[in-house]
Amino acid sequence: MVKVWQTAEIVEAYDGHKLKVRTIKSRAEKVINRSSDEELPPLQNPDILLGINDLTSLSFLHEPAILYNLYSGFIQSHAIYTYCGSALVAINPYKDLDIYGTDSMKKYRGQTMGSLEPHIFAVAEQAFNKMEIENNNQSIIVSGESGAGKTVSAKYAMRYLAFRSKSKTETENEKKVLASNPIMEAIGNAKTTINDNSSRFGKYIELHFNDRNHITGVSMQTYLLEKSRVVHQASHERNYHIFYQLYSSRNMFPQLKLGE
């Protein structure tokens, strides 16, 4: 059974610890037993806060309020990004959105986080800006469950940083990073039941900047590759892409010194 939060209004409080509530949608009544006088069900936020772009501005910050706010923003204005203080929460839209072009990157250039609508570019801009002003190394941590959009987010963050680095060779370096992706993904990505192109390893990517903030190089460390997938895959899952890609080029086997 899937459990979801529902909005309700209090009809009656009685016996000290009991609350009779009525759900707004189905008008069903239910009695909630509170274990203490203080313990109330999660309280609703005023309507005026609905769809705000920083979750920390909610009067009542709890799981149902967060879910409802993210849901409303996504359904009403297709907003996939919301701030939670200095963190960015992203919803995977599973379709291409027109928010990652050069015009969008130009819009975020030099802007402080929070002055424009939440975006992965704003996070990258802040990292770049802090590096420039404080002359310190910066990190962006991308986390989430499988299929949440970590790889795509990291790609857009790197694209923005390459755009922001004024070096003439920025496109060359960016091209090199992006060109290495298909190779890394062939060897380390596989179809799972949740994600057709799931990364089965962790990545630590370093972009190196010189003192004029031009990208001078990129390095990548990988860790925790799921090696067992080579010999065993769960049902409806696949081995690493590289094996299928190689097999589809069987005519090249002799050249690659491989046997059938």
Q: Which of 82, 165, 173, 198 binds ligand ATP (CB under 6 A)?
A: 198
CA distance 171 to 68: 40
CB closest to ligand ATP, residue no: 149
CA distance 177 to 159: 10
Report how many residues bind ligand ATP under the rule CB under 6 A: 18
Q: 93 or 254, CB closer to ligand ATP?
A: 93
* In the complex, least distance from residue 193 CB atom to ligand ATP, rounded to whole angstroms: 11
Token pair of 209, please?
């900047």
Q: Which span sits near ligand ATP by CB under 6 A: 12-20, 139-147, 180-188, 247-255?
A: 139-147
Does 150 sit near ligand ATP (CB under 6 A)? yes
Does 223 sit near ligand ATP (CB under 6 A)? no
Q: Which of 83, 199, 207, 240 binds ligand ATP (CB under 6 A)?
A: 199
CA distance 77 to 93: 12
Token pair of 10, please?
């209090």
Q: Which span sits near ligand ATP by CB under 6 A: 94-102, 123-131, 222-230, 232-240?
A: 94-102
Q: Is residue 176 a known part of a binding site?
A: no
CA distance 70 to 73: 5
Does 94 sit near ligand ATP (CB under 6 A)? yes
* In the complex, least distance from residue 243 CB atom to ligand ATP, rounded to whole angstroms: 18
Burial group, residue 63, by CB count within 10 angstroms (0-12, 13-18, 19+) = exposed
Q: Which of 77, 171, 197, 216 binds ligand ATP (CB under 6 A)?
A: 197
Does 69 sit near ligand ATP (CB under 6 A)? no
Q: 26 or 143, CB closer to ligand ATP?
A: 143
Does 82 sit near ligand ATP (CB under 6 A)? no
Q: 50 or 205, CB closer to ligand ATP?
A: 205
Q: 143 or 248, CB closer to ligand ATP?
A: 143
Q: Which of 64, 147, 167, 187 binds ligand ATP (CB under 6 A)?
A: 147
CA distance 150 to 141: 9
Q: Which of 61, 152, 184, 225 binds ligand ATP (CB under 6 A)?
A: 152
Which residues of the shown chain bind ligand ATP in the complex (CB under 6 A)?
92-97, 144, 146-152, 195, 197-199
- As annotated, the binding site for ATP includes 144-151
- As annotated, the binding site includes 144-151
